Structure 1
Amino acid sequence: MKRTVLAIDIGSTKICALIAEIDDDNNAQIIGAGIAKAQGLRKGSITNIELASKSIKSALNDAKRVAGTELRSAIVTISGAYTKSLNSSGIVNIPNKEITLNEIQRVMHTSLYNANIPNEFEVLHALPYNFKVDDQDFIEDPLGMNAARLEVETHIITTQKSNLNNLRKAVKAAGVEVESVVLSGYASAIAVLNADEKELGAAVVDMGGNTSNIVIHSGHAIRYNDFLGVGSNHITNDLSMALHTPLHTADNVKITYGSLYAPSNDLIELPVIGDETSSHEVSLEVVHNVIYARVEETLMIIAQSIEKSGLKEHMGAGVVLTGGFTKIEGLRELAVAILDNMPVRLAKPTDVGGLFDTLRDPSYSGAVGLIKYLADGYTAYEIDVNRRMRHAGEESATHTGSLPEEAPKFEPIAPASSTPTSAAPTPPVKDEKIAESATMVNIGSNKPVQDDQPNPISKFWNWATQLF
């Protein structure tokens, strides 16, 4: 049975709404798209809820008209601005010696519980990068394995609660509820990375209008993310100031003559800022020098961020650049030179069924990535913004609500009269402390008690009650 989903990519310069149908095999077909200029946003974050909601509504209405369908909830991207990341770890015992989804969920929530997250921050993603089964490191998927102990190391991405709440308010004012939120850099990585690049390790840099987001994948897991306040609009501003011409003219110059290759000495005629009735001539060499200086500076900032991550040696596949900024001619060659001859690839979003021609552009990687995320494109396991564990086989993940029914098997088996009242089954998702205490109780009770062989404590209790 097909399900219809709505994805809204809220960027620094544009808002893109996509409606898609996803079948039982997780094949996505885009059936509607709407694009609007972003208003009420600065560096990808909401600065005016009313203006932002108008932009979102405009993109949303266009997508609905094309798709001919009405949707009440959406998955939305959030900018990397005001995000903080940290690594954490968790460990649980396996009572029945076999790792199930319940154990994986418990260990993931334990790592989240152990993380020192400030009160004013909310978790966006908890992404595991190392599962350890007993003493064996870097297990790709621990599900179904036999073990006494399960450990996990996670990369946790958080954002300011106020930033997240403003985003939700703006989307709600546009007429839809926020079902889930995904970091924009994460969505872009899903759209452009192939399996080999994830395995070998790669940095994905989504270079947008006012911002750039960096995500580093290593061994099928996100290990690092960063946000840079630089984008292609900075080139427009530089051209406007250097050439003394209005911003819209500078933007046209960037699009028409934006190249990093050797310039010609040709002259172009441009209107003068403040007096568009008069014009002056400018050499294309000046245009080239302004663009080159800004692009070089941007790439150097990206190189510094990659160096700061400490994961440069884990990036066997090099750097993948996407976003509207990458349409500048010669960008790849300059990037290779600045990034110490690392492999560099310019990427467009990978094909999705029904992908409109306009969406094949690198500036729509984030929007397409959201659709692929909904179609099972996320990491094997993760905890999302709703504190729900997603599993690569979403069939299993959607049944996480049934996991609490399995909880009683983690509780101690004891006589009814000696069982504390707090032993009543409680969902492990609700409170990480409860899940952990259940683990502690089971350390010494791995073998189930047979009905025909009561344990010594039970015998003693029965004898004592009869005696007194």
Structure 2
Amino acid sequence: MSTTILGIDIGSTKICAIIAQKNDDGDVKILGAGIAKSQGLKKGIITNIDLASKSIRNALNDAKRVAGTQYEKVIVSISGAYTKSVDSSGIVNIPNRDIGIKEINRAMQMADHNANIPNEYEKLHVLPYNFKVDDQEFIEDPLGMNGARLEVQVHIITAQKSSLSNLRKAVKSAGVEIDNIVLGCYASAIAVLNHDERELGVAVIDMGGATCNVMIHAGNSMRFNDYLGVGSLNITNDLSTALHTPLGAAEEIKINYGSLKSNSNELIELPVIGDDGSTHEVSLNIVSNVIYVRVEETLMILAKTLEDSSFKEQIGAGVVLTGGMTKLDGIRELASAIFDNVPIRIAKPREMDGLFETLRDPSYATAIGLVLYGGGHFTPYEIDSNKKLRYKDETIEPTKHHHQETFDDGEEAEENEIGTLPASESNAKEKLKDLANIQEEHSEGFGSKLWNRLTQLF
């Protein structure tokens, strides 16, 4: 039975809604897509629910017009800015010595139960990265094995309850009820990684408009994730400030002339900020230098994040870069030098049926990953944001939403109520390190250092 999936990537610069269909043979086909400029979001965080809802509705309406169909399952991304992560483990006895899905679920639920999660956080993903049957470690898949005891080690992604509530409100105001919430860089990894990269271990860095999200895949699952509040919008701001030109003109320069290796002395004419009608000439060499300084600084922080993660030795396949910022000419060569010559790949979303030319861009990796996740392309075992075990080859049951078919931005759709998620365990001790504040850790002198380097260019 086919299922129609709606994926909504809520980014800092754009909202992308994709409607796709999972066919009986398991293939996912894209039926329609809609893109709208983000409003009410800053660095991946919702700052205005009404404006964010309007942007979501605009993207959704465009996707529905193209697809011409209803959707049954809704998957929404969440920025790493909201999240923290922790590892946990669980052990269960197997009385009948036959390990099935129920036994795997029991072990994962035990690991989930054993995790110390602060009261104000809610679990999004419980991802097993190592199974142990009796004394045998590194079991790839325990299903069908014989053993008296099953142990599992898991990586748990959590998000602030208040932030999740704001996300649900913004999406609901656009006429949609969320079925699953997925970490953005996890969705990106689903869209861009190949089998060899997963086997060897790999770091995925999604370099977006206002954020860079990092995840490391090792073993069977995600092992590490982090977030940096810097993106391609920072390049636009740098160009605007350094070249004394409006933000709109700076964005056009970045798109049309964005390069990290141009030595051209060709002059371009730019409007002067705050002086209507006035223009001045700027060398493309200066433009490249301004961009280079910001990108180099960003990549150096990301390289240190990988170094500090303690998983750098486990990324045999190197680093995969995706997201809109990777379209800058020369970024692969610069990243290779900064990441100590580990293999670097610039990744676009994987080819799939119905993929529009527009969506073959690295900036749509997260949105493509969401519909693939909804179609069953995920870690072999996982407890999702609904506390439900998902596993390979399971039958993905659609959630029947009765959405009113309307394209009037002023009207809201009708939805079925979905049961609320169970609350996190009470009296949990706060034990998580804040993995989402790399920027703060490195921010002392960061702005002034960057500005000093910019001013040296003139």
Which residue of structure 2 lines up, in the alignment, with residue 141 of structure 1? 141
Task: Give how far 1:71 is off.
Answer: 3.2
Aligned equivalents of 1:431, 1:4: Cα separation in 2:
29
Aligned equivalents of 1:42, 1:300: Cα separation in 2:
23
Task: Give how far 1:262 is off.
Answer: 3.7
TM-score (norm 2): 0.86
Work out whether residues 73 and 177 of structure 1, in 8 Å CA contact, stay in contact via their aligned partners in 2.
Answer: no
Q: Map Cα deviations across residues 311-338 of structure 1 (whole Å, 9 max, x no partner).
A: 0000000000000000000000000000
Aligned equivalents of 2:32, 2:220: Cα separation in 1:
31
Q: Map Cα deviations across residues 182-238 of structure 1 (whole Å, 9 max, x no partner).
A: 000000000000000001000000000000111100123100000110100100000
Q: Map Cα deviations across residues 277-297 of structure 1 (whole Å, 9 max, x no partner).
A: 001111112111100000100
The residue identity in structure 2 corresponding to 1:224 is F
Work out whether residues 122 and 423 of structure 2, in 8 Å CA contact, stay in contact via their aligned partners in 1.
Answer: no
Q: Map Cα deviations across residues 393-420 of structure 1 (whole Å, 9 max, x no partner).
A: 122x769xxxxxxxxxxxxxxxxxxxxx
Aligned equivalents of 1:89, 1:120: Cα separation in 2:
22
The residue identity in structure 2 corresponding to 1:335 is A
After superposing the two structures, state which structure 1 stretch, 141-150 or 260-269, moved more.
260-269
Task: Give how far 1:432 is off.
Answer: 12
The answer to whether residue 166 in structure 2 is matched with residue 180 in structure 1 is no
Aligned equivalents of 1:431, 1:107: Cα separation in 2:
20
Report matched runs for 1:14-93 at 5 Å: 14-71=14-71, 73-93=73-93
**Structure of larger gyration radius:** 1
- Name the SS for the 1:394 alignment partner: coil
Which residue of structure 2 lines up, in the alignment, with residue 276 of structure 1? 276
Instruction: Give unmatched runs, 5+ long, in structure 2.
Output: 399-420, 426-458
Work out whether residues 39 and 51 of structure 2, in 8 Å CA contact, stay in contact via their aligned partners in 1.
Answer: yes
Question: Judging changes above 3 Å, is the alpha-carbon distance between structure 1 residues 430 and 300 closer, same or farther for their aligned structure 2 residues?
Answer: closer
Which residue of structure 2 lines up, in the alignment, with residue 234 of structure 1? 234
Which residue of structure 1 lines up, in the alignment, with residue 445 of structure 2? none
Task: Give how far 1:70 is off.
Answer: 2.8
Work out whether residues 185 and 206 of structure 1, in 8 Å CA contact, stay in contact via their aligned partners in 2.
Answer: yes
Task: Give how far 1:430 is off.
Answer: 8.7
Which residue of structure 1 lines up, in the alignment, with residue 384 of structure 2? 384
Which runs of at least 4 in structure 1 moved beyond 2 Å after TM superposition? Answer: 70-73, 429-433
Which residue of structure 1 lines up, in the alignment, with residue 311 of structure 2? 311
The residue identity in structure 2 corresponding to 1:312 is K
Q: Map Cα deviations across residues 245-287 of structure 1 (whole Å, 9 max, x no partner).
A: 0001001111111111141111111100011300111111211
- Name the SS for the 1:377 alignment partner: coil
Question: Judging changes above 3 Å, is the alpha-carbon distance between structure 1 residues 430 and 181 closer, same or farther for their aligned structure 2 residues?
Answer: closer
Q: Map Cα deviations across residues 4-57 of structure 1 (whole Å, 9 max, x no partner).
A: 111101111100001111112210110110000010111112111100000000
Q: Map Cα deviations across residues 87-130 of structure 1 (whole Å, 9 max, x no partner).
A: 00000000111001111111101001000000000001000000
The residue identity in structure 2 corresponding to 1:131 is F
The answer to which structure has the higher helix fraction is 1
Task: Give how far 1:73 is off.
Answer: 4.9
After superposing the two structures, state which structure 1 stretch, 69-78 or 57-66, moved more.
69-78
Work out whether residues 121 and 424 of structure 2, in 8 Å CA contact, stay in contact via their aligned partners in 1.
Answer: no
The residue identity in structure 1 corresponding to 2:294 is R
Aligned equivalents of 1:114, 1:31: Cα separation in 2:
42
Which residue of structure 2 lines up, in the alignment, with residue 351 of structure 1? 351
Q: Map Cα deviations across residues 156-200 of structure 1 (whole Å, 9 max, x no partner).
A: 000100011100010000001001100000000000000000010
Question: Judging changes above 3 Å, is the alpha-carbon distance between structure 1 residues 296 and 46 closer, same or farther for their aligned structure 2 residues?
Answer: same
Work out whether residues 71 and 176 of structure 1, in 8 Å CA contact, stay in contact via their aligned partners in 2.
Answer: no
Instruction: Give unmatched runs, 5+ long, in structure 1.
Output: 400-428, 434-468
- Name the SS for the 2:376 alignment partner: helix
Higher relative contact order, structure no. (Cα contacts within 8 Å, ≥ 6 residues apart): 2
Task: Supply the RMSD in Å over aligned alpha carbons.
Answer: 1.7
Which residue of structure 2 lines up, in the alignment, with residue 424 of structure 1? none
The residue identity in structure 2 corresponding to 1:248 is G
